[in-house]
Each structure stands twice: as structure tokens, then as C-alpha cells.
């Protein structure tokens, strides 16, 4: 009964966050840079493996729009993957925008209705693992061919270790598999806005950053200079769209010096809210920021309504430049560009989020076989990985006479770039016996600008805080997050002071916070 109550409360949280969340974000989750020309494959150490599992005849899979969809000939990808794996694959593809809601309903219907495999966001992954709906793959991963192959990057090994969450036994285990790093957001500045303000050096401190915003607003006579998808994100790591303002604040429960704390109550969070309030009062932050979706932000950026945008690293740097120049919505747009900023001193490092996880549910009758013959094949360093990276051969790409070509997507007619695995973010390199260990499509699917931006991010990022879910967290999270969002909005918009906001939080959430911290510690 307690498990059911916890799940119902989790569903309430999921629906409430979705209702006020991103209205148009379909950003693909995307994986250590490789220039595509260098064989970085190392000799594989002798693998420590367990007895081979039975190969499943059929696997049912639920996933979102980060996997090639049917309107873009996803069925061709399914077919070629089936042929490569020798397994019948049945994909359930709910609408990408409503995927969280779909998963909430799916798990709410009970374990008997779950597919064999489901792709989950990091926070939902931690929740459903704690409630006992996911299979523990710790041993399978440790003894897997791919982990012991030498092909997985150091960042990949770190990501798998950091992806361990608390299960129903209260201990940390691995319940998910990812073929890509979670990636994160970095700050981009329009060159035309820098030029207008007479700025030749990117800011290295918050004082310099704030001064840059003031000069830009004045030079461009802009209504605002910075906007984002809300004042705080709807999923971990929450602060990634406004890093310069949040700095060392983390408004969620996280582990500090071995002890779990509520980051929302710390002085760092109070300072972050005051910085945002000051910028809002000065007209630097968008007055409509709480209503913006990421799609809104991209459109406004393309229209030159603001000049500083924190968004996903790597591919999106190139995508934003391409959109600005080709859409040409303002004078000079065809030659304008953006510059990727290293984090300012007070931020230190951007946050690399915990990647969405491929999970095997407890309803799966042969989890060992699904792990061995489906999940780990995403990083097989060969044909299966190539399909996960670029889609179906002949439909989404071709490789003839040493030339790799990406095909137009049926839904738009525009040239595609990648399937589920972004080559810039992949966690495993190709085998030396497969195309000489070279990622044959990487330099076609990516530009030098994208590679450069990803390198800046990777060199200046750290893993986001780990997630731990307990019954107390699941039962109180919806209420706490509603109050947190309300306090942040009221303080930033000048409706109450920081002190008044924190008093409200203590009054309405203090008892629940104490209960949660007791359970976490």
C-alpha cells in the first residue's frame, strides 16, 4: 500500500511539473569527442564475463522522440536493428512532448503492464528504481563485454558509476544503461551584441558578466538581454539554463561532505535569488521568463530579441548559428555568429546532467538476455552502434567510396544529423576491426563549431549531483517543488524579499524537509 501511495504522489509531481514546464522542447539527448580520423581504440583487456544469457526472441520497448520516429522512417531503423540483433523488436512510441505523462500513467497501471525496456529521464529513473519497478543491472554491467572492452571512455565509466541510485533495499545499484553522456548547457553570446557594446573579451567573473549585460542592453536598446525556459528547470539539474545567476546554489536535496542537505535553504540559494531579482529589476532578465518554453527562447534568439542564451553544448551551438544565418530574421543575421563562453569563476564548471536511462523493468521475463543482446549492443563498437548513431543505412545515410552522406528526413525534407546517439557525446569508441575504428559519419554530422563548443564544455564541466529517492521524498516532493517555484518567482519579481520568501518556505515545507532529510541520512 505504501508503494502505491508513493507512486500516486509521484504521478502528481510529474503532472504538476509538466503542466508548467517546457511547451516546445524536443531537444534530443545526445555523447567523448572524436575527430573521426584517429583510431583511439585501445587493446581490450581480458573481459570478466558470466555465463551467456539466453537470447530473447522478442523485446517490447517504450521510448521518446530521441530515437528516430516513424514519421522519419523509424521503422526502417527498427527493421535493420532487428536484422543485426536477430531479435523481434516492438517499439511503443508515445508523443515526445507528453512522454513524462505517458510514463507516469504506464507505471501507475502496475508492473504487469510494463514493457521489457523503457527510456526514463534521470529523476523518473531514480523514482521508479526506489519503488522497485526496475531490474538491478549492477552485476550485468560489471561483467559485461562492453565495460571490459576498453572502448568506454573515462567519462562514460564515471557516468555509469554516477548513475547508481537507491533501490527498494535502501542501497545503491545500477538500474539504467546509457550510450551517451547526459551533456549540459553552456552560455552563448551573440557576436553582433558584443560588437555593438564594444566588448572584445568575454567575461571571466560575475561582475564582468553583469557589466556585459548592462552594456549590451544600452547599446542595443533592448527590452532584455537574457531569458530562459523559466527561472528554474523542471528536472535535474534544474539550474542549467541560468548558471551565472545560480553559481554555487543547488535548490534541491543533495549530498554535501557526506551528508544530505536541502540546498534551497542554504545561503548560496538566497544569494542566487537576490542576483536574479537585481537583474530582473534592472531590465536584464526577460519579464516573461516564467512563461517561456525553450522553443520560445530559440525563436526570440533567432529574431535578435536578446543576446545571451544558455543552451545545450555541442550540436546546438552549430544549430543556433545555422538557424540565425539561414532564417535571416534581422539585418546582418546572415553573417552573425555566436561565441561559446567558458564558465565564469563563480560558476567554476558547467553541470553535466545524468543522462536519460534505458531501464529493464521487473516485468521482463529475461532481463539478463535483454541486457546482453539489446542494451549493451548500443555500444558494440560496430554495426548496431552505427545504426543507433545514424539510423537506417540507405534511408538515413549512405557510405560509398569512402564518402558518408546524410539523407533528408521525410518529415521535413531537411538533412538529418543523428539518431539516438550523438557522435560528439557517445560513451564508447568503435572497434578497430570495424571501419578501422573510425566514426565514419562524425565529421559529416558535425561542424568544427560544434566540435569546438563540445570540447569547451567537456573541459569545463562536472557531473550533476546524484539523485536519491526515498518514500519521504516521493510523498513530499510535489508540495515542496510547488512552494520552491512560487518563492523563486515572487522574490525575483519583487513581490517579496529573500527573507520573506525563505520564511514562507520554512512555514509551508519545514516539517516535510526535516522528514526527507531524516530519510536521506
Residue 33 has pLDDT above 60, yes or no: no
Residue 11 has pLDDT above 50, yes or no: no
Find, among 304, 228, 300, the residue nearest to 492 by Cα: 228
pLDDT band at residue 245 using 50, 70 and 90 as cut-offs? very high
| Residues forming beta bridges with residue 312, ordered by sequence position | 185
> Mean pLDDT over residues 449-463, rounded?
93
> Mean pLDDT over residues 426-452, rounded?
94
Residue 309 has pLDDT above 50, yes or no: yes
Find, among 313, 294, 338, the residue nearest to 454 by Cα: 313
pLDDT, mean over the chain: 90
Residue 24 has pLDDT above 60, yes or no: no
Task: Please write the tens of the pLDDT for every residue from 259-272.
Answer: 999 999 999 999 99
Q: Going by DSSP bridges, is the β-strand pair 58-62/88-92 parallel, antiparallel, or unpaired?
A: parallel
* pLDDT for residue 49: 42
> Mean pLDDT over residues 20-43, rounded?
35
Lowest mean pLDDT among 4-13, 239-248, 395-404, 475-484: 4-13
pLDDT band at residue 34 using 50, 70 and 90 as cut-offs? very low
Let me know: does 385 contact 70? Beta carbons within 8 Å: no
* pLDDT for residue 491: 98
Task: Give the residue ranges of DSSP H helices in 226-306.
Answer: 243-246, 267-281, 294-302
Residue 417 has pLDDT above 80, yes or no: yes
Find, among 460, 492, 511, the residue nearest to 350 by Cα: 460
Q: What count of residues does the chain have?
A: 521
Q: Is 128 helix (H, G, I), strand (E, B) or coil?
A: helix
> Mean pLDDT over residues 360-386, rounded?
98
Let me know: does 338 contact 321? Beta carbons within 8 Å: yes
* pLDDT for residue 304: 98
Q: Is 198 exposed, middle or buried (0-12, 13-18, 19+ CB in 10 A)?
A: exposed
Which 8-state DSSP code applies to residue 116?
Answer: S
| Long-range contact set of residues 66-70: C-beta below 8 Å, sequence gap at least 24 | 66/28, 66/29, 66/30, 66/96, 66/119, 66/356, 66/420, 67/91, 67/93, 67/119, 67/419, 67/420, 68/391, 68/392, 68/396, 68/419, 68/420, 69/93, 69/96, 69/411
Which helix (H) or strand (E) segment holds residue 361: the answer is: none
Residue 361 has pLDDT above 60, yes or no: yes
Residue 426 has pLDDT above 70, yes or no: yes
Lowest mean pLDDT among 42-51, 199-208, 458-467: 42-51
* pLDDT for residue 13: 43
* pLDDT for residue 14: 43
Task: Please write the tens of the pLDDT for every residue from 210-219.
Answer: 999 999 999 9
Let me know: does 125 contact 159? Beta carbons within 8 Å: no
> Mean pLDDT over residues 144-167, rounded?
93
Distance of alpha carbon 184 from alpha carbon 1, whole angstroms:
38
> Mean pLDDT over residues 32-46, rounded?
35
Lowest mean pLDDT among 7-11, 68-72, 232-236: 7-11
Q: 79 — phi, psi (to 5°)?
A: -65, -45
pLDDT band at residue 51 using 50, 70 and 90 as cut-offs? low
Residue 15 has pLDDT above 80, yes or no: no
Distance of alpha carbon 42 from alpha carbon 432, whole angstroms:
8
> Mean pLDDT over residues 163-183, rounded?
93
Residue 2 has pLDDT above 90, yes or no: no
Question: Locate cell 508515445: which residue?
Answer: 94
Neighbours of 392 (CB within 10 A): 21
Amino acid at each position: 500500500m505504501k508503494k502505491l501511495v508513493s507512486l500516486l504522489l509521484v504521478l502528481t509531481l510529474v503532472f504538476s511539473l509538466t503542466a508548467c514546464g517546457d511547451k516546445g522542447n524536443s531537444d534530443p539527448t545526445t555523447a567523448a569527442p572524436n575527430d573521426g580520423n584517429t583510431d583511439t581504440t585501445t587493446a581490450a583487456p581480458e573481459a570478466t564475463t558470466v555465463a551467456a544469457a539466453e537470447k530473447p526472441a522478442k523485446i517490447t520497448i517504450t521510448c521518446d522522440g530521441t530515437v528516430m520516429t516513424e514519421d522519419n522512417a523509424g521503422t526502417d531503423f527498427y527493421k535493420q536493428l532487428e536484422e543485426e540483433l536477430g531479435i523481434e523488436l516492438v517499439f511503443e512510441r508515445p508523443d515526445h512532448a507528453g512522454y513524462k505523462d505517458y510514463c507516469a500513467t504506464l507505471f501507475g497501471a502496475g508492473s504487469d503492464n510494463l514493457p521489457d525496456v523503457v527510456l526514463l529521464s534521470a529523476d523518473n529513473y531514480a523514482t521508479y528504481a526506489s519503488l522497485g519497478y526496475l531490474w538491478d543491472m549492477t552485476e550485468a554491467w560489471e561483467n559485461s563485454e562492453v565495460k571490459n572492452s576498453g572502448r568506454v571512455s573515462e567519462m562514460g565509466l564515471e557516468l555509469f558509476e554516477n548513475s547508481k541510485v537507491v533501490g527498494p533495499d535502501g542501497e545503491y545499484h545500477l538500474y539504467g544503461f546509457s550510450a551517451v553522456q547526459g551533456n549540459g548547457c553552456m552560455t552563448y553570446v551573440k557576436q553582433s551584441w558584443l560588437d555593438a557594446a564594444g566588448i572584445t573579451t568575454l567575461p571571466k567573473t560575475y561582475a564582468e558578466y553583469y557589466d556585459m549585460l548592462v552594456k549590451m542592453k544600452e547599446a542595443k536598446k533592448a527590452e532584455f538581454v537574457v531569458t530562459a525556459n523559466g527561472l528554474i528547470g523542471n528536472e535535474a539539474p534544474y539550474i542549467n539554463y541560468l548558471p551565472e545567476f545560480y553559481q554555487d546554489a543547488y535548490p534541491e536535496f543533495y549530498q554535501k561532505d557526506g551528508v544530505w542537505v536541502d540546498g534551497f535553504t542554504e545561503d548560496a540559494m538566497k544569494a542566487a535569488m537576490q542576483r536574479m531579482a537585481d537583474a530582473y529589476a534592472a531590465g536584464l532578465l526577460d519579464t516573461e521568463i516564467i512563461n517561456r518554453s525553450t522553443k520560445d527562447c530559440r525563436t526570440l534568439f533567432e529574431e535578435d530579441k536578446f543576446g545571451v542564451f544558455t543552451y545545450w553544448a555541442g550540436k546546438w551551438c552549430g544549430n543556433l548559428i545555422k538557424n540565425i544565418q539561414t532564417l535571416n530574421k534581422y539585418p546582418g543575421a546572415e553573417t552573425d555568429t555566436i561565441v561559446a563562453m567558458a564558465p565564469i569563476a563563480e560558476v567554476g564548471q558547467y553541470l553535466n546532467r545524468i543522462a536519460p536511462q534505458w531501464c529493464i523493468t521487473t516485468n521482463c521475463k529475461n532481463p539478463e538476455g535483454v541486457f546482453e543482446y539489446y542494451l549493451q549492443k548500443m555500444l558494440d563498437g560496430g554495426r548496431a552502434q552505427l545504426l543507433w548513431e545514424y539510423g537506417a543505412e540507405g534511408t538515413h545515410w549512405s557510405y560509398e567510396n569512402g564518402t558518408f552522406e546524410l539523407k533528408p528526413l521525410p518529415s521535413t525534407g531537411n538533412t538529418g544529423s543523428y539518431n539516438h546517439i550523438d557522435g560528439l557525446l557517445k560513451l564508447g569508441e568503435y572497434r578497430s576491426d570495424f571501419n578501422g575504428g573510425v566514426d565514419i559519419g562524425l565529421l559529416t554530422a558535425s561542424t568544427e563549431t560544434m566540435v569546438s563548443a563540445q570540447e569547451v564544455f567537456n573541459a569545463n564541466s562536472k557531473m550533476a549531483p546524484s539523485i536519491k529517492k526515498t518514500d519521504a521524498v516521493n510523498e513530499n516532493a510535489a508540495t515542496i517543488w510547488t512552494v520552491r517555484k512560487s518563492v523563486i518567482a515572487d522574490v525575483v519579481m519583487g513581490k517579496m524579499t529573500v527573507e520573506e520568501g525563505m520564511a514562507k518556505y520554512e512555514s509551508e515545507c519545514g516539517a516535510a524537509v526535516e522528514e526527507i532529510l531524516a530519510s536521506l541520512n
